Structure 1
């Protein structure tokens, strides 16, 4: 699974609420000003290619059905946040939620590498 763009996430939130939907049904749920039908259709097709939605033929349209739940995606996002921003430490994630910031970590000591140019100048 991969993170969704804001536009993709917005459409997924609608589809999770509806359960499934045609392009026009999804578009009608968007807040004003709505993006064009073609934009919604293109984004839904991208989500199918990403393996997030299934497109089921219906008359001359497709009914889009989420392949995973909103809770599954929330778990993925929390895992991603924990791994990439909280050093895989649940206490850091909780501190971020409660305090709005991560605890200050002790600065890592960097090994100093002397370049050949600096050595030559100093000699």
Structure 2
């Protein structure tokens, strides 16, 4: 799966929130500073070309919806991220966050509990 740019990810977040809609609907979901309407429209068209978004023509406008679920994108993104930056080692990923003090002992215990229950 192709990695999305920050601008594309922001657009996808808005699309996932709306489930389906028009460019104006997505623009309303994006935090300030909002991109210009035409920039968002171009970004959504690129997402359609990449297969992340499906479009349906309604009159003179297009209604868009996500072609991939948010959870599926997260899963694929994280698998690629761990593979590229941590040599496919989730242990190294957790170790990195622990060394950077980005994860607490309680959070680690919660993760261990989740693993043991799975």
TM-score (norm 1): 0.75
Contact 2:17 2:29 in 1 (8 A): no
Counterpart residue number, 1:74: 74
Distance 2:100 2:14 in 1: 28
Distance 1:97 1:77 in 2: 18
CA shift, 1:78, in A, is 1.1
Residue 3 of structure 1: SS of its match in structure 2? Answer: coil
How many residues are treated as equivalent by the alignment?
A: 101
* Structure (1/2) with the larger helix percentage: 2
TM-score (norm 2): 0.78
Larger Cα Rg: Structure 1 or Structure 2?
A: 1
Counterpart residue number, 2:62: 62
Structural RMSD (CA): 1.5
Please give the per-residue CA displacement for 1:47-85, whole angstroms capped at 9, x wherever unaligned: 001111001112211111111111111111111111111
Residue 87 of structure 2: SS of its match in structure 1? Answer: coil
Counterpart residue number, 2:13: 13
Distance 1:17 1:37 in 2: 18
Contact 2:21 2:65 in 1 (8 A): yes
Distance 1:79 1:30 in 2: 27
Counterpart residue number, 1:50: 50
Contact 2:57 2:63 in 1 (8 A): yes
Task: Give unmatched runs, 5+ long, in structure 1.
Answer: 102-123
Residue 2 of structure 2: SS of its match in structure 1? Answer: coil
Counterpart residue number, 1:100: 100
Task: Give unmatched runs, 5+ long, in structure 2.
Answer: 102-118
